[in-house]
């Protein structure tokens, strides 16, 4: 008789062990750091990954204002917004976004790499982005990782 079970493991919300991860974005390319953060938020780096459950960790990003963009992307890359009214399109460059809100570049890049559904919106609440090197999450003892 075969004793090996052929059942697929599906994590339950009570089984998930959420850690806190600290990522320093200083001089890191925006796309590379964002894709790594999105993987951690989604939980794809864990063995117990389950597609329909939040199995990811909490991520704290520091030095978001010092993130790197290669080539001429700082001046040429544009972000599009539309208010819903006719003709009310708005284009913003990466430089303008960094001046107005330094955390928005990283947040927008990670948000675009997460699922476009309820789970993706829930996963984005596990992301905390700070412009400088100081963050208020020292009590959670985040584990610093190198990307």
pLDDT, tens digit, for every residue of 35-60? 999 999 999 999 999 999 999 999 99
Q: Is 1 a member of any domain? A: no
Query: Does residue 81 sit within a domain?
Result: no
Residue 33 belongs to some domain of the structure? yes
Does residue 36 lie within any of the structural domains?
yes
Rounded distance between C-alpha atoms, residue 64 and residue 41, angstroms: 17
Residue 71, number of CB atoms within 10 A of its CB:
8
Residue at 12 is within a domain? no
Tell me whether residue 85 is in a domain.
Answer: no
Range of the domain at 32: 17-69+98-145
pLDDT at residue 1 is higher than 60: no
pLDDT exceeds 80 at position 109: yes
CB 66 within 8 A of CB 103: no
The answer to whether position 59 is within a domain reads: yes
* Residue 124 covered by a domain: yes
**What's the farthest any 2 CA atoms get from each other in the chain?**
70
Contact between residue 112 and residue 35 where contact means Cβ atoms under 8 Å apart: no
Residue 117: which CATH number? 3.90.1180.10
Count how many domains the chain has.
1
Decide if pLDDT at 119 tops 90: yes
Categorize the per-residue pLDDT at 72 as very low, low, confident or very high, splitting at 50, 70 and 90: very high
């Amino acid at each position: 008789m075969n004793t090996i079970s052929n059942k697929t493991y599906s994590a339950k919300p009570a089984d998930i062990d959420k850690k806190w991860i600290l990522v320093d974005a200083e001089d890191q390319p925006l796309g590379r750091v964002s894709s790594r953060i999105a993987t951690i938020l989604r939980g794809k780096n864990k063995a117990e990954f389950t597609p329909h459950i939040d199995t990811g960790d909490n991520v704290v990003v520091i030095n978001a204002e010092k993130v790197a963009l290669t080539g001429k992307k700082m001046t040429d890359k544009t972000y599009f917004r539309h208010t819903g009214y006719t003709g009310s399109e708005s284009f913003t460059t990466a430089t303008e976004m960094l001046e107005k809100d330094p955390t928005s570049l990283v947040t927008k890049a990670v948000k675009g790499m997460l699922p476009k559904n309820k789970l993706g919106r829930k996963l984005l609440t596990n992301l905390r982005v700070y412009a400088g090197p100081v963050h208020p999450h020292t009590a959670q003892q985040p584990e610093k990782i190198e990307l």
